[in-house]
Amino acid sequence: MGCVARQEITPTKIRDHVSRLGELYPPIPLSSIDRTVQNPDLVRDRYGHLLTYLARVELEVDRNVLELLTVLPDVEENDRFFYEDVWQPQEIQHGIILDQLGQDIGMLPSEPMLEVNWKYKLLGALGRFRGIQDVSRLLYYLTGASTERQAVLAYNTFTDGLAELGEQAMVETVITPIKRQEPGHFAFYRMSAEYMVNTYKMKPWQLWLTRMLRKVSYNLVGTNGLPRFKQDMGSVIATLGVDADLEKYAKEIGRLEARVLWANRNGMEFPPYFLTALRESVEMYREYGLGHVRTAV
Ligand SMILES: [Fe+2]
Ligand SMILES: [Fe+2]
């Protein structure tokens, strides 16, 4: 990567990227999926909790929009274009479809958390100061990038696992179409974060504050900082089979942030708080089991 000069990112390029995503990937209608499941019991035993976890995370998109509006009262046009016209309509369908499939195989409906955390409200109140709002924006992009990257990896592994079980309908009409939409989301956040750090040029104190806030508040996708979801995330990590080499996984999901936010300081390949969060979830799951996910039968 080192010798290839990265093209400079501009708001126009980001906008073009978002329009392309909108044209390429209309929201997936529930009616387009084939709900045939060859062996519901086996799929439920092996992947039921993963399915419910992913469904919940996807359905929480509506809270994510509220959080965004809370911390970025003066939302930029590109951000609005992305979350309102492309991202939310795509993600909510992911949630609806996965949740339906979960119920088809005997899982309870997932229960998305839709209440905005007080930390976002505090950040929103401080966002009256323009300098702070820039910090919030960068936090939003970094959170989005890490989240989307985890989604891409989860869907990749899920596809392989379902294919192995011979669940072709799920692979072809559900997971593959969903999976196709996630890398474009990641790219939006990556480009936006790179733009802020490299071109828009945030001040040293803003970058410092962003680093501190990431350090103290980093959460894996869908844990919402709560123990019961951290336990469930531990089981997701185990199902994905990445618990044997957490450092490798931390590198996969933390590489971008190590570069953009920490400039690979002292050879950093991922920010240490990624690994801390992964270890915590795995340990909590080993100790206490599943926290929230249940089957209906
Ligand atoms: Fe999604
Ligand atoms: Fe996504």
Distance 143 CA to ligand 1 centre (A): 14
User: Is 295 in a helix, a strand, or coil?
Assistant: strand
pTM of the shown model? 0.94
- Per residue in 212-236, is it b (16+ CB within 10 Å) or e — as a string? ebbeeebbbbbbbeeeebbbbbbbb
To 5 degrees, how large is the angle CA 46–CA 47–CA 53? Answer: 145
pLDDT tens sequence across 201-230: 899 999 999 999 999 999 999 999 999 999
pLDDT band per the 50, 70, 90 thresholds, residue 51: very high
pLDDT of residue 1: 46
User: Do residues 214 and 273 lie in contact, with contact meaning Cβ atoms separated by under 8 Å?
Assistant: yes
Encoded tokens for 233: 């995330």
**Confidence check: pLDDT of 48 > 60:** yes
Write out pLDDT tens, residues 148-160: 999 999 999 999 9
Instruction: State the distance from the centre of ligand 2 to the C-alpha of 168, rounded, in angstroms.
Output: 23
Q: What average pLDDT does range 45-66 have in this prediction? A: 95
pLDDT surpasses 80 at 4: no
Report how far apart, in Å, the C-alpha atoms of 231 and of each of 144, 255, 281 are.
21, 24, 6
Ligand 1 centre to CA of 241 (Å) is 21
For position 241, what pLDDT does the model report? 93
> 196: CA distance to ligand 2 center in Å?
21
Identity at 64, one-letter amino acid code? N
* Rg (alpha carbons) of the chain, rounded to whole number: 19
* pLDDT at residue 296 greater than cutoff 60: no
Residue-averaged pLDDT of the chain: 94
Q: What is the model's pLDDT at position 196?
A: 95
Specify the DSSP element, H or E, that contains 282: helix 272-288
Distance 150 CA to ligand 1 centre (A): 10
Give the whole-angstrom CA distance, residue 295 versus residue 65.
29
Distance of CA 266 from the midpoint of ligand 2 (Å):
31
Q: Where are the domains of the chain?
A: 11-224
pLDDT band, residue 128 (cuts 50/70/90): confident
Closest ligand to 95 CA?
A: 1
Compute the distance between CA of residue 186 and CA of residue 84 in angstroms, rounded to an integer: 16
Q: How far apart are the CA of 266 and the centre of ligand 1, in A?
A: 34
Please give the CATH number for the structural domain made up of 11-224: 1.20.1260.10
For the stretch 167-208, pLDDT in tens is: 999 999 999 999 999 999 999 999 999 999 999 989 999 999
